[in-house]
Structure 1
Amino acid sequence: MTTHCGYFPNARFLSFMVNSCTYANLLDASVALLSKASQFGCRIEAHAYNKLMRLLIGHGRVNDAVALFERWIDDGVYSPDVCSFNVVIKGVCHVDGLCRVNEVDRGRQVLRRLKRDGVFMPNIVTFTSVISGYCKSGKMEDAMAVYNDMVESGTAPNMVTYNVLINGYGKVGDMGSAVTVYQQMMLLHCPPDVVTFSSLIDGYCRCGQLDDALRIWIEMSRYHIQPNVYTFSIVLHSLCKQNRPEEAVGLLNELNMRSDIAPQAFIYNPVIDVLCKGGKVDEANLIRKGMEEKGCLPDKYTYTILIIGYCMKGKMSEAITVLHKMVETGCTPDNITINCFITCLSKAGMPNEVDHAMFVASGGALSSQKTPPPSIRIPKLVKIMRTNRIFY
């Protein structure tokens, strides 16, 4: 059409071709077509470029997206909209979720260029994207510098902006600054949400200031904001880490009363672990049963904690029962579980149970016999045990 017949497409048809290639994930073909826009005298609509840039960034080709973005503007065949700039800046500030500092700096450079050239006035999403990038990189001074630029430009921060800053300060352990941002947020009548309080609680817990975290938990209820599964997880982990099992069990009971939260194993496991370490293995096993009643399946960590807990108490028959339950539910024990269990069996003077434990752990059929015949023992598991030197 273009080479042999000399017909040039108009902007609408070229956009159609670009979109078709983009949806087919032929990104290089889309780029090649758009590069001919100036040759064809076409001015392409922003949405065609925005879709392509999103996909390039999604495929880790951030540099390609930014280079094309700048070239398209310079060629004058593209009129970017607010979405265009947000796509590019969010892209460079959230590279692969890692937020590398050099990429965030590039996002800030783009932001400065836009303001300098008067091409586009950054909005709240643009500023917050760069702030978020710096916060995730731990560069809080740079994050606040961008925040100040935003305020000076007349763009009012919103709840998301404040939450990003509070979370950033909490991650680096600067709770004084996190609280200052929170207070400023309240002074400007920007209502906090569960993310705000969860970030404060997380920050205090990271600093080992659990009582301050619990104070924020109480303050959250004054605003009639319900903690979510993440908030519960933060506090439960911290209570268990500081060996406060009674409070952890009480909070877990509060969680179990919430019908709007689907509990998961990673929330229960620290509580089960701290109870086992305190010798309260039967109570820990009741927590496991409560999990199942709530429709939450224990994972391999849940079972491993209980097996080792019973072994440490010398309750080998209970440990074997938990191992049976583990295998029945389709949860395969790993080498750590098996090694610990068989070591405990050996120390307890129960060599006859070793083969049985190996057989059960390998997925063998459960029966009343304690030791399966040699013909049905699993060679692969025997090899694992020898490799890990657990035979005596």
Structure 2
Amino acid sequence: MRPPLDLHTLLRLRLPPRHPLHRLLHSHTPNDRPPPPPQHPPPHDPELWIAKALASAAFLRPHYLPAFRRLAPSQFAAAAALRHAPCASSALQLFSSLHSFPLAIPPSAHSYRYVISLMCQSGRQVDALQLFDRMTDQSGYLPNARFLSFLAGSCASAGLLDAAAALLSKASQFGCSIEAYAYNKLMGSFIGRGRVQDAVALFEGWIQGAVYSPDVWSFNVVIKGVCQLGDVQKALELVERMHQFGCSPDTVTHNILVNGLCRVKEVSKGREVLRRLQRDGVCTPNVVTYTSVISGYCKAGRIEDAVAVYDDMVACGTAPNVVTYNVLINGYGKAGNMGSAVAVYQQMILRRCPPDVVTFSSLIDGYCRCSQLDDAMRIWTEMAQCQIQPNAHTFSIMIHTFCKQNRAAEALRFLKELNMRTDIAPQAFIYNPVIDVLCKAGKVDEANTVLMEMEGKGCHPDKYTYTILIVGHCMKGRIAEAITFFHKMVETGCTPDSITVNSFISCLLKSGMASEVDHIMRIASGGTSSSWRDPSPITRRVDISVAV
């Protein structure tokens, strides 16, 4: 049997050279003795020494821990020992060692809170929740409001929204009065993850259970969520209920409401809210309020009404911002009125409002819609001179326009420039027009090259990409490659639609390959495996003429 460990032996624990725990128990005096005690020892000095010894023994000689029972370590010593753990995992291990057999030191509330906090900071919220349940259910320690808010917020940040909601719902059970901020932030997290209905249900449940008293922000969060769902009627009901809780709608509330009305094409009602704000004077509309109505009118093609609201905004002394100008430029561009779009752009410059990538993209899009590619290229150059980088949408506009005009070389040049950008993750809809124009020109090998570049950038082909390639190879008489693309499409989980299947079957029939049609139809309907081997020598011919 191993002899019991006394404190003198503990002080002589031999550690490897330069071990990080060397400093914990040893002070390197010439005689290898512990340093003399200070003249004025700090409070609890023996407890702190025991805490260091406990930590060292737990990590290096766990079988020596029973020897500490003679010292009857206190909760203070156990809590202090936890602070010597080098990481969250070690702290949890030490917590378990100290508070279970053989030492079985009753854990303190401080020990629980410290380790739970470490677990949260290390991204181990599930372990933190388990320890929290042990703290409240087994040890009977109740959290205070600050700690409960911290734990709920940490769980919400980790995506454990339901766990966070359960914690806050128990606030009254724990005797905590949580500020509305914590509830509002959690509802915002639910809405941000697309769980609007759950956020509304929590809001209603918390109000009915008198868990907390909502403030203006609470209502704004929920109103914004239901507006995102297009339920403007529910939003209006919530605005009416605000007065029951001593809240009054503020400018943010009205901005959310106006934007929601405009999004569901109720622009006239949105403008009526704006007029009421101007008339009542309780809340002053700001640039966001005006811009929402202007944007609604532009999207509805009512550009004259949008300009009227813009003029009203300027007359009231509210300065337009870059979003306001961009909305008007985009509206004029879609209406084909590039003269007015440029006039707004020039006014923007005169008012010292710096344009952004959206400004230039809207101008380029407008010129491209009017087939004025020279002017579009001029704006592209001007954008570079302003040191503003085009984004994926800007590239897409130029590439699509060149492809529509069968100018494949220019489209490929822009695509090459796009591929050189490491900060843009290209999407399939940008590549598809280039692949399409190449296939229609019979340049299927170049189309295949673009496909490889596309996949090399981590961009996965979609059903349109595969349909273009299948039909393009059929038109070139390369049926075997078309069939290969069809099988690749199915194998990658990209389900062919009726257009793809019907186009492909038409090509097969025209090429005299009726025997393949049934096989393709079974695969398209999910009735058989997509693995394919060339069943007929005819598919090896690469010069079958197909009129599509």
The bucket for the TM-score relative to the shorter chain is 0.7 to 0.9
- Retained in 2: the 8 A contact 1:356–1:370? no
CA displacement at 1:116 relative to structure 2? 1.9
The residue number in structure 1 matching 2:232 is 62
Q: Does 1:89 align with 2:258?
A: yes
- Retained in 1: the 8 A contact 2:487–2:532? no
The residue number in structure 2 matching 1:6 is none
Matches within 5 A, 1:176-195: 176-195=339-358
Q: Identify the match of residue 233 of structure 1 among 396, 405, 413.
A: 396
The residue number in structure 1 matching 2:320 is 157
Q: Does 1:292 align with 2:462?
A: no
Q: Deviations over 1:194-229 (max 9, x none)?
A: 000111111122222222222211111111111111
Q: Deviations over 1:47-79 (max 9, x none)?
A: 243234334434433235336636866x89433
Q: Does 1:53 align with 2:201?
A: no
Q: Deviations over 1:178-206 (max 9, x none)?
A: 11100100111111100001111111222
Distance 1:209 1:29, change over 3 A: same
Q: How far apart in 1 are the matches of 2:451 and 2:422? A: 18
More deviation in 103-112 or 54-63?
Answer: 54-63
Q: How far apart in 1 are the matches of 2:445 and 2:471? A: 13
Distance 1:150 1:288, change over 3 A: same
The residue number in structure 2 matching 1:366 is 531
Q: Identify the match of residue 299 of structure 2 among 129, 136, 141.
A: 136
Q: How far apart in 2 are the matches of 1:121 and 1:137? A: 26
Q: How far apart in 1 are the matches of 2:522 and 2:204? A: 57
The residue number in structure 1 matching 2:445 is 282
Q: Does 1:122 align with 2:285?
A: yes
More deviation in 52-61 or 339-348?
Answer: 52-61
Look up the equivalent residue of 2:369 and give its one-letter code: R
- Retained in 1: the 8 A contact 2:232–2:260? yes
Distance 1:164 1:27, change over 3 A: farther
Q: How far apart in 2 are the matches of 1:81 and 1:313? A: 64
SS in 2 for 1:92: helix
Look up the equivalent residue of 1:49 and give its one-letter code: F
| Unmatched runs of 5 consecutive residues or more in structure 1 | 1-11, 34-42, 372-392
CA displacement at 1:339 relative to structure 2? 2.5
SS in 2 for 1:25: helix
More deviation in 173-182 or 313-322?
Answer: 313-322
Distance 1:174 1:370, change over 3 A: same
Distance 1:116 1:291, change over 3 A: same
Matches within 5 A, 1:249-260: 249-260=412-423
Structure with more contact order per residue of length (Cα contacts < 8 Å, sep ≥ 6): 1
Look up the equivalent residue of 2:200 and give its one-letter code: N
- Retained in 1: the 8 A contact 2:297–2:303? yes
Q: How far apart in 1 are the matches of 2:366 and 2:294? A: 18
CA displacement at 1:299 relative to structure 2? 1.5
Q: How far apart in 1 are the matches of 2:521 and 2:454? A: 27
CA displacement at 1:236 relative to structure 2? 0.9
- Retained in 2: the 8 A contact 1:236–1:248? yes
- Retained in 2: the 8 A contact 1:236–1:271? yes
More deviation in 179-188 or 54-63?
Answer: 54-63
Q: Deviations over 1:101-159 (max 9, x none)?
A: xx222222222222222212211111111111111111111111111111111111111
CA displacement at 1:80 relative to structure 2? 3.1
- Retained in 2: the 8 A contact 1:263–1:294? yes
- Retained in 2: the 8 A contact 1:44–1:77? no
More deviation in 316-325 or 135-144?
Answer: 316-325
| Unmatched runs of 5 consecutive residues or more in structure 2 | 1-176, 188-196, 537-548
SS in 2 for 1:170: helix
Matches within 5 A, 1:5-20: none
Distance 1:248 1:81, change over 3 A: same
Q: Aligned residues: percent identity?
A: 61
- Retained in 1: the 8 A contact 2:435–2:469? yes
Look up the equivalent residue of 2:388 and give its one-letter code: I
- Retained in 2: the 8 A contact 1:45–1:79? no
Look up the equivalent residue of 1:87 and give its one-letter code: I
Distance 1:26 1:310, change over 3 A: closer
Specify the structure having the higher radius of gyration (Cα): 2
Distance 1:348 1:49, change over 3 A: closer
Q: How far apart in 2 are the matches of 1:48 and 1:351? A: 64
Q: Taking structure 1 as the reference length, what is the TM-score of the superposition?
A: 0.78
The residue number in structure 1 matching 2:200 is 25
Look up the equivalent residue of 1:78 and give its one-letter code: C
CA displacement at 1:88 relative to structure 2? 2.2
Q: Taking structure 2 as the reference length, what is the TM-score of the superposition?
A: 0.57
Q: How far apart in 1 are the matches of 2:516 and 2:472? A: 18
- Retained in 1: the 8 A contact 2:438–2:447? yes
CA displacement at 1:239 relative to structure 2? 0.7
Matches within 5 A, 1:105-120: 105-120=268-283
Look up the equivalent residue of 2:509 and give its one-letter code: S
Q: How far apart in 1 are the matches of 2:205 and 2:222? A: 7
Q: How far apart in 1 are the matches of 2:467 and 2:249? A: 56
RMSD value, Cα? 3.2
Aligned pair count?
345
Distance 1:260 1:32, change over 3 A: closer
The residue number in structure 1 matching 2:70 is none
